[in-house]
Amino acid sequence: MNTQPLGLLVMAYGTPHSLDEVLPYYTDIRHGRPPSDEQLADLIRRYEAIGGVSPLAEITRRQAEGLAELLNADGGRPVRLYQGMKHTTPFISDAVEKMQEDGITEAIAIVLAPHYSTMSIETYHKQVRETAARLGGPAFRYIRDWHMEPRFLDVLTSRVQEALARCSDPQNAMVVFSAHSLPARILEMNDPYVDQLRESGDEIAKRLNLPHYMYAWQSAGRTHEPWLGPDILDVLSELREQGYREVVSCSQGFVADHLEVLYDIDIEAQARARDLGLHLVRTRQMNDDPAFLAGLRDAVRRAERETELIAP
């Protein structure tokens, strides 16, 4: 067995660590274009509504460290952890540069999002490839997706089951699987994102024999082009009109408590549900649940065995 440490690059979207960082964070998301005063004020208002700062940075750290700990205890090749964020420090390029400085020659890259899209996961991988190519290393194995990882599905199933138990009439509750919306043009690009979301959602529905479930989108960007729909807020109104009284929201595209869950679901969607007279229950996020992290460990070890090592 190769005993040289395997670089483990754990990537995530990133989040401001304070309200002072919201402007540079938002500017980075907008490819260097600062937001308008109105846009900035709206985003700050959302962060203030969830307590002033998102817990995502701390949760991401615990997820990455927990994953590395499991990998270093399973008897396989030891790993050395690096974290790279897409829109905040430490940036992805910084992490790859640190790997090179540390003499890491082989690494595995995983994004803390289960489903692949050319407009999401691939953008992380592109930054890794470009930085590694500029530096002459390391060589990487890339994990494209892990939405059908058995242990991940086990935890997701238990989360939905737990949420249904909080309904007064679980058999007549609608389970809504949602994920972050993307520009609708991905439908013309043979992009697997939508199909993968249905694959994992359908598997959960099969395991639980759900009589009522559907798909919706959330957290669409504020741009002029159309985004994937229907939006979960519109779905809630439609479900009320159809006679539903209870809804379980499963944001399966997210694996941590952050703004898109704590505000978009817990505040915005809950307010809409109350206005409609609906009982809305949200599934708990994965965060650093050891059972979830064991699924990520399995995905890493499988990639180590089966995924091609790409030279810089």
- Residue 29 has phi, psi (to 5 degrees) of -60, -35
Rounded distance, CA 275 to CA 112, Å? 34
Neighbour count for residue 168 (Cβ, 10 Å): 9
Q: Compute the residue count for the chain.
A: 312
- Residue 301 has phi, psi (to 5 degrees) of -65, -35
Give the residue numbers of the binding site.
Answer: 13, 30, 46-47, 54, 124, 180, 260
Give the residue numbers of the binding site for Fe(2+).
Answer: 180, 260
- Of 216, 227, 205, 224, the closest CA to residue 280 belongs to 216
What are the helix (H) ranges across 209-289?
232-241, 259-262, 270-276
What dihedral angle (degrees, nearest 10) is formed by the CA atoms of 38, 44, 45, 51?
180
Give the residue numbers of the binding site for Fe-coproporphyrin III.
Answer: 13, 30, 46-47, 54, 124
Rounded distance, CA 287 to CA 59, Å? 6
Neighbour count for residue 92 (Cβ, 10 Å): 27
- Of 277, 29, 122, 155, the closest CA to residue 109 belongs to 122
- Of 170, 163, 165, the closest CA to residue 251 belongs to 163
3-state SS, residue 248: strand
